[in-house]
Amino acid sequence: MIPELGTFSLILALLCAIVQGTFPLLGAHRNHYHWMNLARSAAWSQLVFVGLAYACLTVSFLSHDFSVRYIALNSNTQLPVIYLISGVWAGHEGSLLLWALILAGWTGAVERCSSAIPQEMRARVIAVMGLVSTGFLLFIIMTSSPFVRQFPIPLEGNDLNPLLQDPGLAIHPPILYLGYVGFSVPFAFGIAALLAGRLDGAWARWSRPWTLFAWTFLTIGIALGSWWAYNELGWGGWWFWDPVENASFMPWLVGTALVHSLAATEKRGVFKAWTVLLALFAFSLSLLGTFLVRSGILTSVHAFANDPARGVFILIFLSLVVGLSLGLYAWRAPSVRSTLVTSPISRESFILINNILLMVTTATILLGTLYPLVMDALGLGKISVGAPYFNSVFVPLTAPLVLLLGTASVIRWKQDRIKRLLWILTPILLISFVIGVLWPVFNMPHYSSVAIFGVTLGVWTFATAVVGVWSRTSGGNRWRRLRNTPSSFYGMTLAHIGVGVFAIGIALTSAFSVEKQVRMAPGDHQLIGGYDFRFDGVIDVRGPNYLAQRGVITVLKDGLPVSRLEPEKRTYQIQRNPMTEAGIEAGLMRDLYVSLGEPLDDGRSWGLRLYLKPFIRWIWLGALLIAIGGLIAGFDRRYRLPSGIRNRSPGTVTTPSVGM
Amino acid sequence: MTPRRRQRLVLVGLIVVGCTIAIGLALLALRENINLFFSPSQIVDGTAPSNTTIRLGGMVVAGSIQRGENLGVTFVLTDLAEQVTVAYEGILPDLFREGQGIVTQGKLDSTGRFLAEQVLAKHDETYMPPEVNDALRKVMAVGQ
């Protein structure tokens, strides 16, 4: 009964989405008030029905309704409750439903928060989101309904993939989707503005907070995925350039470009057409990401489904979205008049360089990700593009970006003098370089140019950010000036510091990690980077739905125990898959990481991975700072539109003259 | 030339220069980092080059896994037509087991042994890497 209710609500949600995607659009075109007004009720009813369908699936999971095929495949009576709830998005069908729910949620949020935006614009934005939603709901109903029943009803479910039974991965997909789907908002704003033929500063101002929030979620989502891979895959890596990771990283890069160019468009009225194009790209790449991950064409842990009908549908949907939006862009964008960039030495020019670097980086990653697929499709052989490719193109493209980023906090809009910039920045660069050289010398075991380079860049971003805040608030009462500085400036500062922390983390981890794979019998010692790892043996333990062998490793430094690590090799009872659970002692300066390999000599000794990972936490700490920066910037007071300007035309919205 | 035109020209120029550099870098990097996939049959009939990093995929032959010194291990991969011995030093992935389809990355030595630097097995016991699946299907089709 409940699954059927779910199917019915999905169909009702689809009908709402169709109404939401058509009438307001026509209404905006013909200036028909009531049709435009339909956007509101259609959007809310769609949210209610998708939410109901989602609730139905969750309830069926909680009540172990194995007559539903999706639940039988992804659940089990012994599964802990948290994984029953997260099991809803463990597979293809459920994660699409989650996608649709999040899209409906963003639509509701836009509806709720945009009462100050002219009705015509609002109707168009909601309608475009309704059209996207129509596509997704059609996809779910036609090819991938999670509510399909099966007979005979199995007594027990197939269990959730053990890899997904981890708190980090339980929240990774929803957060990632919040980011992916969130880019539909700037996309919808962009399409609406193109349709209206009105791309102005107000448009950029409306899209900016939404873009920032979506981008923040995407940042956290990617960082969580990386953190999970480090914990769960058992080989201590944090980024593999796996096609699926690239699929989420490309929209992030374009989103980053968009966040910056929106700032320039809002403040200075420059790059209007370019900014819209970025908004279209960011969402298109999010869709491409879904296609890559969910179509099953990739050799990947994420590719659960392998159904050609789905691939074809997403491909058609993707080409429709990309084709129509780019077509509209080609038709409308030439009439857009941007303000000219007055000087090559200005914040807007530097943002342009930032955008070019980010887009070129995206293009090279896209090339490496799609190249094997294209070669395969053309029958030119099966190939794989390895991580060295991505590293060798990524680093030379992003290092100048980080250097450029340091100038952001001090350079002025419109026109700046190169002499002034050099006067401020040269000493900072020199000091950063000195610290970059000294840090590894004092803190680290050996010389490494990578470390010097990374630490220099990291200190550079930090120092320039601090100097930026200082020089911005000097003259007059410093406290008052600090208070009056808009939070978007603090957000930018924090995010830029985050990039520096991230760079230091990557550089030190890759330069000074010690990794050993060894065979150890109980009582054996291994010395790794000054730490003495003693293997004390393996004991059997029983978890809620698995059996595990737990290794015990004592880590000593100078003869004194510093840590006891307990990596596990779990066997989940239903799927019988072994799973490696690493034993990690996390620290700000270093992680000690041990994972169990396989038993050797009939269990008398074990293969073990023993890693020492300096500063690896800084990678996720940096990502977290970047995300918090995005959040703070998104909550800037200036974006909270006062309702007083509700009925004025967007052209009259005044732009405060304070900085970013 | 109007300022707008000039600015557009500069912008286009910048983008062209950026793209050229990036494409140059990318192609250079691609040339060194593309790993072709081969099946055991292609190794045996000499299609696969030796001393270049390639990928080899197949099923692990039952009873072929042999432990050596330390973490050294050898096993035999098959596409049901031909067999290739693979040598590897290190910890094998969780799902490495007899009968499982796996992909290895490494180099072919002069004696026809495959020296693997990486062994990949994915996390699903019913999972068969698409490349291995295709190779197996090809052999089956020939056999019929």
Question: CB A360 to CB B3 under 8 A?
Answer: no
User: Which of B123, B91, B93, B118 is CA-nearest to residue A169?
Assistant: B123
Cβ contacts of B4 on chain A, cutoff 8 Å: 340
Q: What is the pLDDT of residues B48-104, one digit of tens each?
A: 888 888 888 888 998 888 888 888 899 999 888 889 999 999 888 887 888 888 889
The alpha carbon of residue A362 is apart from the nearest alpha carbon of chain B, in Å, by 10
User: To probe the interface with A, which of B17, B34, B73 has the most A CB atoms within 10 Å?
Assistant: B34
Question: CB B124 to CB A389 under 8 A?
Answer: no
Q: What is the pLDDT of residues A346-355, one digit of tens each?
A: 898 899 999 9
Pairing of strands B83-89, B114-120: parallel
Which of A340, A360, A601 lies closest to B22 in CB terms?
Answer: A360
Task: Please name the residues in contact with A30: beta carbons below 8 A apart, sequence gap of 6 or more.
Answer: none
For residues A97 and A157, the answer to whether their CB atoms sit within 8 Å is: no
Domain range summary for chain B, segments of one domain joined by + = 1-34, 37-143
Rg (alpha carbons) of chain A, rounded to whole number: 26
What span, in angstroms and rounded, lies between the C-alpha atoms of A245 and B68? 36
CB-based burial label for A430 (10 Å; 0-12, 13-18, 19+): exposed
A234 touches chain B (CB under 8 A): yes
Q: What is the pLDDT of residues A492-519, one digit of tens each?
A: 999 999 999 999 999 999 999 998 899 9
User: To probe the interface with B, which of A373, A598, A601, A605 has the most B CB atoms within 10 Å?
Assistant: A598
Task: Please name the residues in contact with A70: beta carbons below 8 A apart, sequence gap of 6 or more.
Answer: A57, A91, A93, A94, A146, A147, A148
Q: Which CATH class is domain B37-143?
A: mainly beta
Classify B121 in phi/psi space as left (phi over 0), alpha (psi -120 to 50) or beta.
beta
- Average pLDDT over chain B reads 81
Q: What is the pLDDT of residues B121-142, one digit of tens each?
A: 764 444 566 666 777 777 766 6
Q: How far is C-alpha A585 from the geometric centre of its chain's CA atoms?
A: 26
- Average pLDDT over chain A reads 88
For residues A607 and A518, the answer to whether their CB atoms sit within 8 Å is: yes
Beta-carbon count within 10 A of A405 CB: 24
Classify A81 in phi/psi space as left (phi over 0), alpha (psi -120 to 50) or beta.
alpha
Cite the DSSP H helix spans in A31-152. 33-62, 69-74, 81-86, 92-113, 119-143
pLDDT at A321 over 70: yes
Nearest CA in chain A to B20: A360
Which of A381, A386, A607 lies closest to B33 in CB terms?
Answer: A386
Q: What are phi and psi of A15, to 5 degrees?
A: -60, -45
Beta bridge partners of A519: A607
Q: What is the pLDDT of residues A302-319, one digit of tens each?
A: 443 456 677 778 788 989
Beta bridge partners of A581: A568
Q: How far is CA A390 from CA A243, A255, B23, B34, in A?
A: 11, 20, 13, 11
Q: How confident is the model at residue A258 (pLDDT cuts 50, 70, 90)?
A: very high
Average pLDDT over residues A66-71: 94
Q: Which helix (H) or strand (E) holds A283?
A: helix A272-294
For residues B22 and A393, the answer to whether their CB atoms sit within 8 Å is: yes
Q: How far is C-alpha A1 from the geometric centre of its chain's CA atoms?
A: 37
Q: How far is CA A478 from CA A132, A472, A484, A658, in A?
A: 48, 9, 10, 16
pLDDT at A414 over 90: no
pLDDT at A648 over 70: no
For residues B71 and A517, the answer to whether their CB atoms sit within 8 Å is: yes
pLDDT, residue B128, reads 60
Q: How confident is the model at residue A650 (pLDDT cuts 50, 70, 90)?
A: very low
Per cent of chain A over pLDDT 70 is: 95
pLDDT, residue A126, reads 96
Tokens 């059997």, located at residue: A540
Average pLDDT over residues A379-399: 84
pLDDT, residue A299, reads 47
pLDDT at A79 over 50: yes
Q: How far is CA B51 from CA A383, A482, B112, B113, B115, in A?
A: 17, 62, 11, 11, 10
Nearest CA in chain B to A581: B94
Beta-carbon count within 10 A of A647 CB: 9
pLDDT at B144 over 70: no
Q: What is the dihedral of CA A2, A3, A8, A9, to 10 degrees?
A: 80
A299 touches chain B (CB under 8 A): yes
Top mean-pLDDT range of A579-583, A613-617, B32-36: A613-617
Q: Which helix (H) or strand (E) holds A21?
A: helix A2-30
Q: What DSSP assignment string belongs to A215-240?
A: HHHHHHHHHHHHHHHHHHSSS--S--
Residue A473 structure tokens: 């608030």
Q: Which helix (H) or strand (E) holds A459?
A: helix A449-472
DSSP 8-state class, residue B97: -
User: To probe the interface with B, which of A384, A573, A577 has the most B CB atoms within 10 Å?
Assistant: A384
Q: How confident is the model at residue A403 (pLDDT cuts 50, 70, 90)?
A: very high
Q: How confident is the model at residue A647 (pLDDT cuts 50, 70, 90)?
A: very low
Lowest mean pLDDT among A120-134, A369-383, A441-455, A633-647: A633-647
DSSP 8-state class, residue A539: E
What span, in angstroms and rounded, lies between the C-alpha atoms of A37 and A21? 12
Q: What is the pLDDT of residues A608-640, one digit of tens each?
A: 999 999 999 999 999 999 999 999 999 988 777
Three-state DSSP class for residue B35:
strand
More confident position, A472 or B124? A472
pLDDT at A220 over 60: yes
What span, in angstroms and rounded, lies between the C-alpha atoms of A238 and A620? 10
Cite the DSSP H helix spans in chain B. 3-33, 40-44, 130-143
Among chain B, residues having any CB pair with chain A shorter than 8 Å are: 3-4, 7, 11, 14-15, 18-19, 21-22, 25-26, 29-30, 32-37, 55, 67, 70-71, 90-92, 94-95, 103, 105, 122-125, 129-131, 134
DSSP 8-state class, residue A614: E
User: Which of A187, A178, A263, A175 is CA-nearest to residue A227?
Assistant: A175
Question: CB B124 to CB A578 under 8 A?
Answer: no
Average pLDDT over residues A18-46: 93
Residue A52 structure tokens: 């109901």
Tokens 């989602």, located at residue: A54
pLDDT, residue B24, reads 81
User: Which of A623, A429, A358, A395 is CA-nearest to residue A507?
Assistant: A395
CATH topology of domain A1-163: Four Helix Bundle (Hemerythrin (Met), subunit A) (1.20.120)
pLDDT at A644 over 60: no
Q: How confident is the model at residue A55 (pLDDT cuts 50, 70, 90)?
A: very high
Lowest mean pLDDT among A56-65, A268-277, A334-343, A631-640: A334-343
Q: What is the ipTM of this complex?
A: 0.80
pLDDT at A263 over 60: yes
What span, in angstroms and rounded, lies between the C-alpha atoms of A123 and A111? 9
pLDDT at A538 over 60: yes
pLDDT, residue A506, reads 93
